[in-house]
Amino acid sequence: MIELTVNGGRYEVEAPVGRSLAEVLREDLGLTGTKIACFEGHCGACTVQVDGVPVLSCITLVHTVEGREVTTIEGLREHPLVDAFVRADAVQCGFCTPGQIVSAAALVEANASPSSDEIRHAMAGNICRCGTYPKIEEAIHAWRD
Amino acid sequence: MARLIRTEKEVEGRYEEVWLVVEEDALDQWPDGPLETVGRPAPRQDGRQRATGTARYTADIALPGMLHAAVLRSPHARARVTNLDLEQAREAPGVRAILEPGATDDLVTECHFQGQPIAAVAADTYAQARAALALIDVEFEVLEPLLDPEEAVKQKRLTTEPRTTTRGDPARGFAEADVIVEATYRTQTVLHNSMETHQSVCEWDGDTLVVYISTQFIWGIRDSVSERLGLPPDKVRVVCEYMGGGFGSKNGPDDYTYIAAELAKRTGRPVKCALTRREENVHAGNRNATIQKLRAGARADGTLVALEGEFIASVGWSGWLASTAGPMQMLYDCENLHTVEYGAKLNTPPMKAFRAPGFVEGTFGLECLMDELAASLAIDSLEFRRKNHADATDERPYSSKNLMECYERAEKHWARRGDVRARSDSTWKRGVGLASQIWYGGGGPPSYAWVRLGSDGRATVVTAMQDIGTGTKTAMQQIAAEELGLPIERVEISAGDSARGPYASISAGSSTTPSMGPAVRAAAADAARQVIEIAAQRYHLEERVLSLQGGSVVSADGGSWPLEEVVGLLEDAQILGKGARGPNPTGMQVLTFGVQVAEVAVDVETGEVRVERIAAVHDVGRVINPLGASSQVEGGIIQGIGHTLSEERLLDPETGTILTQTLDAYRMPTIADVPEIVSELLDIPDRHLTNLGSKGLGEPPIVPVAAAIANAIRDATGADVRSLPITREEMLRALEEAKQKTREREKVGARSA
């Protein structure tokens, strides 16, 4: 058993060797906003923040985040980015969207007015097959409106 | 009275005749232009649920006692199972059931393509199921796969009879031509890669099978599953509330659903069977590769006189023959035409529909050929397309066609080419290209909706439709809100469950909005009529002076009663309106049209191609939600850029096994690859089509992308790229070929001088 801090709450979870953070979040804690789309660190759908830094939870072993702050989409529900994404229609099927917002939240935390180039650089690891990218860029530009 | 008629139904270019019950009280179309809610931008009403992760997808479903399935699939393109020992797997920790070959029709020992399922395991956890799979002792006799589509055609190894279409006298047409161009175009195999992989959860509730599935067609799943399992259709309930993308690949139940259903039956527990990303890239379908040998002839004045095409589609072991010849048959006015299409039966995974199947591939070939033809005639590309515009290509008139208007609006984008070219330097060459689009998108019956109006003055649209991420639920809320004179916030939608609403359309072939929208409007109108009847009796007014506006019943003389007051008379009772989708206009072709103008930059030293701008003008009838529509256009274009420049399923040429199973190997566009996109929709309602005049928009925007980019590359560099994807290698090859041609021309020029 290890102790995890997720969205400010503390949880005791089983951490057998090889268990990923994404599985623990989804299966043990019921935090299914974190999506698994490739399970090998290529698509960004599982992005969470660990100590404020975007991390691919599907290839992060859960025991490595003991004692660190994990923030999932469930901890960002009141973040202004959520409304910005909905307003801009930066949501199509929505399966990648929580991961997009988690990445974007880390970006605007570090840089409140990112340029388009900075947005593209920071968000290039989050694949959206529906192609909402122009709207994502727009939503991040307008996140404080 | 219910009136029974026989009518024609089209999905993705395939027509069938259906019986249809139509309502007598047909509605007139609304006036043109933006109305109160319809035609105005509406953010997705379920956007917050999707964005915050509270939306429950099939992937998120975890039922009490649910088991997880893993499937043993053939690692070989063609092989026979010679030995299969399941005993060790059966004893593995957590294993609750194993399906042997034959346990469902999909589980086989003769494997004709990689990924074909052989056996399946259900265990308490997915990790246990995978671990058990590894304990299955299986031996194969590996056989020689057939992988070459041209060889398949030579050997007559085809999935279906060749399809031939002839019009006029092609030989005479070519004889009359002043200029003839011919070229061979190749398109690659492309993978859908929906973010949510194909999956379902099956649970038996007594003798009813409940199927939670990531699907584009709730009712199609119900029909297929009930037929295969021999269950009455009402003993299959299908649920899909949120869905993580399909693009054509999720129209049917597939092996994983039948495996889950059988395992659920054997264990008495719910079973989830989900494809991994690697399985998805092998076994979830693909846009088939094509080889297109094309020829076109025109008179010196630019009039097309003959078109000819031989098309080979690498269908795979099974699947259907999408119409790659369609654009050649339909886009231009050309009286002499001959096309033949072959479906090559190969030891590769079956194709599936992928966003305008056939037409995406066929438009690349045709529209590149048309540009080559226009260039050899020294006629402007846009002018050439206007000159050969088709008013009709068979005896059936179009229900509406505003392609000329699209061309008109594209002119300002086309006019940028001087400036764009002028921004070239010694390494980066810039150019502009265009391509036209034709595709279906008329939708059709049957589709039904109910509208429930409560005493709180709120409405709910009830229909067992799916929203695959296109925003159709929001469009339906807009349509109901418009008809009921309510703000959209007062209209809910209940969808996604065959047990909770009437039959609804497939979400494929750009058909959801044109199929469902008219049914929803009819249901809302039925509810509105009842409210007016009630108000007329309560307030002693004539029905004809009453209407619904701004959440109230309003009379012509200025009276106004809030809806909740009128419906509130009924206390807990509800008003229920019902609506059905009427037929498509008899004897007419319902099609969508458009044109795109692409601007590219090509690095002639490295072969890198960058798309800098795409302007899209499409004609899809009335636009319900301009915001959601622009997302569809952008999404289609971005997917098209992936198809054009970077995406390709690669096979090992020796073994036929798939090398691109992961998302680092199969390269889809990221946010960094997106050009400036300008999206314009004509928003001209189709007067002949339903009570809405709306066509579908999911597919049209992807259709002309590749050709517009390739034509822009020719404009920039003089090189003919005829093979997708346009990798640096292909680009450099085309540049070298262009150089050779110039040298040869110079030689000939020098000799004749």
Domains B3-57+443-580 and B61-144+195-245+250-283 share a fold: yes
Flag if A137 and B668 touch (Cβ within 8 Å).
no
Cβ-contact B72, B120 below 8 angstroms:
yes
Cβ-contact B528, B482 below 8 angstroms:
no
For chain B, the average pLDDT equals 96
**Exposed e or buried b for every residue in B409-424, given b needs 16+ CB within 10 A?**
bbeebbeebeebeeeb
pLDDT at B608 over 80: yes
Chain A nearest-CA residue for B629: A89
Query: Cα–Cα distance between B433 and B376 in angstroms, integer?
Result: 16
* Of B75, B312, B71, B284, the residue nearest B193 (C-alpha): B284
Query: Cα–Cα distance between B476 and B337 in angstroms, integer?
Result: 41
Chain A nearest-CA residue for B53: A33
CATH class for domain B3-57+443-580? alpha beta
How does pLDDT run across B82-95, given as a tens digit for each residue?
A: 999 999 999 999 99
- B162, with CB counted inside 10 A (0-12, 13-18, 19+), is middle
Flag if A135 and B44 touch (Cβ within 8 Å).
no
Q: Give pLDDT, residue B26.
A: 80
Flag if A73 and B242 touch (Cβ within 8 Å).
no
Query: Cα–Cα distance between B77 and B482 in angstroms, integer?
Result: 54
Topology given in CATH for the domain delimited by B61-144+195-245+250-283 = Aldehyde Oxidoreductase; domain 4 (3.30.365)
Asked if the ipTM is above 0.90, the reply is: yes
Mean pLDDT value of segment B55-79? 98
Flag if B634 and A43 touch (Cβ within 8 Å).
no
Q: Is B578 left (phi over 0), alpha (psi -120 to 50) or beta?
A: beta
Flag if B635 and A131 touch (Cβ within 8 Å).
yes
How does pLDDT run across B631-674, given as a tens digit for each residue?
A: 999 999 999 999 999 999 999 999 999 999 999 999 999 999 99
* Of B548, B379, B517, the residue nearest B444 (C-alpha): B517
Determine the residue type at B130: R
Q: Give pLDDT, residue B12.
A: 66
DSSP conformational letter for B381:
H
- Nearest C-alpha of chain A: how many angstroms from B647? 12
Considering only the beta carbons, identify the residue of A37, A125, A130 that sits closest to B277.
A37
Q: How many Cα atoms occupy the beta-carbon half-sphere of B380 within 13 Å?
A: 9
Q: Which two tokens stand for residue B558?
A: 């200025």
pLDDT at B348 over 90: yes
Query: Cα–Cα distance between B42 and B35 in angstroms, integer?
Result: 13
* Of B77, B113, B282, B290, the residue nearest B188 (C-alpha): B290
Contacts of B607 (CB under 8 A, 6+ apart): B727, B728, B729, B730, B731, B732, B735
Residues of A in contact with B194 (CB under 8 A): 93, 95, 129
- Nearest C-alpha of chain A: how many angstroms from B650? 18
Block residue for tokens 């990798």: B727
Quickly count: other Cβ atoms within 10 Å of residue A16's Cβ.
Answer: 8
Contacts of B135 (CB under 8 A, 6+ apart): B88, B89, B92
Determine the residue type at B165: T
Q: Give pLDDT, residue B9.
A: 77
Query: For chain B, what are the domain ranges?
Result: 3-57+443-580, 61-144+195-245+250-283
Using only C-alpha atoms, chain B has a radius of gyration, in whole angstroms, of 28
- B603, with CB counted inside 10 A (0-12, 13-18, 19+), is middle
Mean pLDDT value of segment A89-115? 98
Quickly count: other Cβ atoms within 10 Å of residue B390's Cβ.
Answer: 16
For chain A, the average pLDDT equals 97
Cβ-contact B119, B354 below 8 angstroms:
no
Backbone angles phi and psi of B429, in degrees to 5: -100, 135
Residues of A in contact with B64 (CB under 8 A): none
* β-pairing verdict for B199-205 and B110-111: unpaired
Quickly count: other Cβ atoms within 10 Å of residue B147's Cβ.
Answer: 20
How does pLDDT run across B550-601, given as a tens digit for each residue?
A: 999 999 999 999 999 999 988 888 999 999 999 999 889 999 999 999 999 9
A130, A135, A136: best to mutate for the B interface, most B CBs within 10 A: A130
Q: Give pLDDT, residue B10.
A: 75
Identify the H or E element spanning B609.
strand B609-619
Q: Give pLDDT, residue B5.
A: 83
Query: Cα–Cα distance between B375 and B741 in angstroms, integer?
Result: 15
Residues of A in contact with B59 (CB under 8 A): 35-36, 95
Flag if A132 and B631 touch (Cβ within 8 Å).
yes
Tell me: cis bond preceding B725? Omega within 30 of 0 counts. Answer: yes
Residues of A in contact with B468 (CB under 8 A): 93
Residues of A in contact with B193 (CB under 8 A): 129
Residues of A in contact with B639 (CB under 8 A): 129, 131
Flag if B52 and A73 touch (Cβ within 8 Å).
yes
Mean pLDDT value of segment B462-467? 97
How does pLDDT run across B474-486, given as a tens digit for each residue?
A: 999 999 999 999 9
Flag if A93 and B194 touch (Cβ within 8 Å).
yes
pLDDT at B24 over 60: no
Backbone angles phi and psi of B21, in degrees to 5: -95, 125
Answer yes or no: pTM beyond 0.95.
yes
DSSP conformational letter for B689:
S
Which of the residue ranges A10-24, B190-204, B604-618, B626-640 would you say has the lowest mean pLDDT?
A: A10-24
- Nearest C-alpha of chain A: how many angstroms from B599? 17
Q: Is B115 strand, coil or helix?
A: coil
Mean pLDDT value of segment B314-334? 97
Confidence of residue B14 (pLDDT cuts 50, 70, 90): confident
